[in-house]
Structure 1
Amino acid sequence: MNQAAIARTIPKKESTSYRILFIIGLCHLLNDAIQAIIPAMFPILEKSMGLSFTQLGMIAFALNIVSSLLQPVFGNITDKKPFPFALPIGLTITLFGIIGLAIAPRYEWILVSVLFIGLGSAVFHPEGSRVAYMAAGPRRGLAQSIYQVGGNTGQSLAPLITALILVPYGQFGAAWFTIAAFMAVCLLLYIAFWYANKLKSEQLERKQKSNLPNETKPITRAVKLSLTLVLFLIFARSWYISGMTNFYAFYTIDKYSFSISQAQIYLFAFLVAGALGTFFGGPLADRFGKKNIIFLSMMLTAPFSILIPFVPASVAFCLLLITGFVLMLSFSVTVVYAQELIPGKIGMMSGLTVGFAFGMGAIGSVALGYLIDLIGLTTTMTLMGLLPLIGLLTLLLPSDQTLAKWNG
């Protein structure tokens, strides 16, 4: 009878909860749309406060470095002791940060405000990814894509935010996003109650299956090497995206004599295409393999990213669409790949991979901003186009079949 009872629980456990996935994806959209305000404000702050490119890079650094350092920390803590209500708490911290950003009178206050937003993001991301994993059932690639596409869609809103809100209303226009933060807190309260109930049911199943062996295994040298390679790939992708997000608008203004609003349309195209790529990456990886999609994503991006600085505006627009879509095919896939490298550490692996992306973006913002001040905008953009070639490292990763063997 006990075996029959356990068997009856398996289909329920393995089903995909699309309602939860779409809600957590929407919350991810709202969270990352709020974060997108910061780079979207760069042209505004550069004029109103007279900030240098290095100072703008430091603002992005302050936002992302807190998130990148704390995401794996929070992920590791909640792997050991899950805390469902961390999700609404994280967005409440972000809410305070966005209020501070709207009314900050000086550069230093902007830095403090973005630290709050970065802290809220660090709390949200690993637990949001865990919710996606719990709701995924057998479709982990698709689930992670739904979750991650929400965030990337939110980031892609930055150019529209600039054109529709920040250009007419200035810095104080950021206050409108307190509404988005409040909506996210309410939705995450609903998710938190679902999460708590899910934990209870999983704990019951563990008691019923107490005779099964523990899934946690020692981390081998091969696993550590593979994870290091994944982080190098994330480094290349993050630096490229950071450079495009923070500085490509300035490049179009300089090269094509665009207005701020025209420049944001090009950046919007790149980011929206990236959001679409994020969505399709997971299902493609479920079908064709995670390693294959990561490799193709990076290597097919390279020729287009190299060409972008050398072509007319109309051609650049088309190349931006292709580059954004193809490069971001690998975004959610690298998260799932890392989670399967070290099973049982879902929050930590999500925090490490996504957090590392934020951290590399932060360092990239400062480094690229400094390079622009040192060697010029055009030269820096040209060098950035070479970053996807680091995708050749994917050839050294173990195949999906090898991962399956390591996990038994």
Structure 2
Amino acid sequence: MKKGQLGFLTGTHTVNDLYQGAIPAMLPFLMSERHYSYAAVSGLAFAASGVSSLFQPLFGVISDRKSRPWLVPAGFTTAALGVVMAGLAGNYMVTWLCVALAGIGIAAYHPPATSQARAAGGSSQKAMSVFSVGGTVGGAVAPSLVTLVIGSVGFDGSYLLAAPALIMAILWALKGPWMRRRGYTKAAPSVTAASTKPAADPARQTDDWRAFGRLVAVIVGWSIPFVTVTSLVSLHAQRDLGQSTAAGAATLTSYTAAGAVGTLLGGWVGDRYGRMTSVRIGYLVALPALLGIAWAPAFPVLVASATLFGAAMFLPFAAQVTLGQDYLPNRPGTASGLTLGMAMAAGGLCSPAFGWLADSSGLRAAFYALLLVFVAPVVMALRLPDRVLASPDAPSPEPVDATNTSSTQ
């Protein structure tokens, strides 16, 4: 495990996903100051998650064909630009386009950064969970940062939100040459793809598209409640339980911060008990936690349920990323782009529908409908097959050993 490189990439992930989390954190302020409806707010959630997810597989294919490490800083700086411009925009359409620009930047970042992180961390689930938790921490910090900036100086101070991306871009300019001297950025995609398929076992080289398709279906079902809860839970605290804007932001922070804990815990469980254990426990716990969000009669119940839901939803996160890459060992960037990208598009695409339901029937009705939708991916997640490939850092096994190793469990 290359800890220095993994740590630096984790820092870039924190900055990138800070802007992903900044968009839902801005929604309550947009509703109060620009008088947007639930449907309009959900449309912005689609611009952020849906557009980003649709572009992400494209960037995955691009990163598989040729190493393009510059996509990492270009991604998070574009995301920052889109968020800042959305805060300064004067009308809904311009705001929507700016949020979509931020989503495209987020999409450009994830496939190359995830492939590089897998190369730096090897086959360790804990290593991928550390990289993943960087993004979760960024999402957790975002509501507090947005509340501090916009709550204090209004949308005119949105340019202050660009500071983290500017600092990280400078650090990347300083660290980038060091990483290239170590032969890291050029080798990252090929290390992930090639070293996980020993020549002695041709079966290991095959891409299992059928199993990968099942995983994508599960992540589609995961993304719908994830995106919808992210965009509506703070409004639920304010509109249904009579809490302040700060309390709504605190609920969102608790939800995303718990995701960081769940991501790290999932990596530990995956290394110790197998990654499918973290997948199954996560989905089984998330279902009743979502019921708690929908039912919550008081603010403490909502916070507790949202915290549990955030932790449970991210327990299988690192496992899903590495599982997708092991299903498609020849196309790690494509696997990252599809699992983190197109599958996530469903959440953004469906978010406006739940917004319309909230406009017509209330937020609780939207959350109960979300609960029914989530049952299907929970059942499917319990039936996902595992696939064990050789460690990227391990030498190719001798032919006599390869006969005793199964590429699929």
Q: Given the two structures, how large is their TM-score scaled by the length of structure 1?
A: 0.86
Answer yes or no: is the 8 Å Cα contact 1:295–1:392 preserved in 2: no
AA partner of residue 321 (structure 1): T
AA partner of residue 284 (structure 1): V
- 1:1-400 aligned at under 5 Å gives the runs 16-139=1-124, 141-190=125-174, 192-193=176-177, 194-195=179-180, 197-198=183-184, 212=199, 217-219=205-207, 223-311=208-296, 312-389=298-375, 390-400=377-387
Answer yes or no: is the 8 Å Cα contact 2:48–2:102 preserved in 1: yes
CA spacing shift, 1:376–1:256, aligned 2, 3 Å:
closer
1:3 counterpart residue number: none
1:8 counterpart residue number: none
Answer yes or no: is the 8 Å Cα contact 1:85–1:189 preserved in 2: no
1:150-207 residue CA offsets vs partner (Å, 9 max, x unmatched): 1111112233134322222222332112111112222333554315722556889x99
CA spacing shift, 1:200–1:246, aligned 2, 3 Å:
closer
Q: Secondary structure at the match of 2:35?
A: coil
CA spacing shift, 1:101–1:18, aligned 2, 3 Å:
same
Q: CA deviation at 1:114?
A: 1.5
CA spacing shift, 1:189–1:53, aligned 2, 3 Å:
same
Aligned residues: 385
In structure 2, runs of 5+ residues without a counterpart are 391-404
CA distance in 2, matches of 1:401, 1:132: 19
CA distance in 2, matches of 1:388, 1:252: 21
Q: Secondary structure at the match of 1:405?
A: coil
In structure 1, runs of 5+ residues without a counterpart are 1-15
Q: Secondary structure at the match of 1:133?
A: helix
Worse overlay, 44-53 or 159-168:
159-168
1:57-107 residue CA offsets vs partner (Å, 9 max, x unmatched): 111211222321221111112112111222222233234323422321111
CA spacing shift, 1:352–1:192, aligned 2, 3 Å:
farther
When the two chains are superposed, the root-mean-square deviation of aligned CA atoms in Å is 2.7
**% identical aligned pairs:** 26
CA spacing shift, 1:315–1:54, aligned 2, 3 Å:
closer
Q: CA deviation at 1:327?
A: 2.0
Answer yes or no: is the 8 Å Cα contact 1:301–1:388 preserved in 2: no
Q: CA deviation at 1:304?
A: 2.4
1:5 counterpart residue number: none
CA spacing shift, 1:385–1:195, aligned 2, 3 Å:
farther
AA partner of residue 94 (structure 2): W
Answer yes or no: is the 8 Å Cα contact 1:133–1:144 preserved in 2: yes
CA distance in 2, matches of 1:232, 1:114: 26
Q: Secondary structure at the match of 1:396?
A: coil
CA distance in 1, matches of 2:201, 2:91: 53
Answer yes or no: is the 8 Å Cα contact 1:87–1:188 preserved in 2: no
Q: CA deviation at 1:274?
A: 1.1
CA distance in 2, matches of 1:108, 1:200: 40
2:394 counterpart residue number: none
